Amino acid sequence: MGRNRSGVLEFALLGLLHRAPMHGYELRQQLSSLLGTFRALSFGSLYPCLKELHAAGLIAEEHEEQDSSGKARRSRIVYRLTTEGKERLQDLLSEGGPATWDDDGFGVHFAFFGQTRADVRLRILEGRRSRLEERTEAIRAAFTRTRERVDSYTLELHRHGLESVEREVRWLNELIASERQGAQQTESARTDNDTSEKESS
């Protein structure tokens, strides 16, 4: 019945509010520069979603009525995460499943990699890569299946699409290598310092 509340929006809002409490308008601005495509989310999506998160007890509203000497600055609602909201965010940050491989999901999860565990980061990067490799194969198949039968523009579209995906795979390869190196360094440092400790947070 709750209309919204799933997909990437909830996650993005919780993630942003974890950095700092904010009001709706500011959240939208941050969202624009955060989301993969840099598209602006409409208010018609944003405010209902915030209300639902509030109704679900994940965020708290604070009506900013600090009339210090009469400068009553009403009508701004600052949201902050509740304890339950923080727990929910931690759950979402631990997710590394298929939902995090697709275009939208990956973009948002990557934006919050700074708050994500190293093992989850690697799972997401590798999942994303194999997802893109599937797409590469699909394009290549369409390529050989329809070659000769298509005009030069369709061919160029396929060629450019293929190149873009392959570039992103190379980008992911670099990131994965970098993550592995970081993990190895952490591992060896941990082994050097304390061999008995297991899975320290």
Partner DNA sequence: GTTAGCATGTAAGGAGTTACATGATTTT
Partner DNA sequence: AAAATCATGTAACTCCTTACATGCTAAC
> Closer CB to a second copy, residue 90 or residue 154?
154
Please report whether residue 171 would count as binding DNA according to CB under 7 A.
no
**What residues from 88 to 147 belong to the interface with DNA (CB under 7 A)?**
104
Residues touching DNA, count (CB under 7 A):
32
Residue 14 has phi, psi (to 5 degrees) of -60, -40
Return the closest-CA partner of residue 125 out of 186, 200, 182. 182
Please report whether residue 186 would count as binding a second copy according to CB under 8 A.
no
Please report whether residue 170 would count as binding a second copy according to CB under 8 A.
no
**What residues from 7 to 26 belong to the interface with DNA (CB under 7 A)?**
7-9, 23-26
Nearest-approach distance from CB 89 to a second copy, in angstroms: 16
Nearest-approach distance from CB 74 to DNA, in angstroms: 6
> Closer CB to a second copy, residue 96 or residue 107?
107
Please report whether residue 118 would count as binding a second copy according to CB under 8 A.
no
Return the closest-CA partner of residue 18 out of 75, 87, 69, 72. 87
> Closer CB to DNA, residue 98 or residue 182?
98
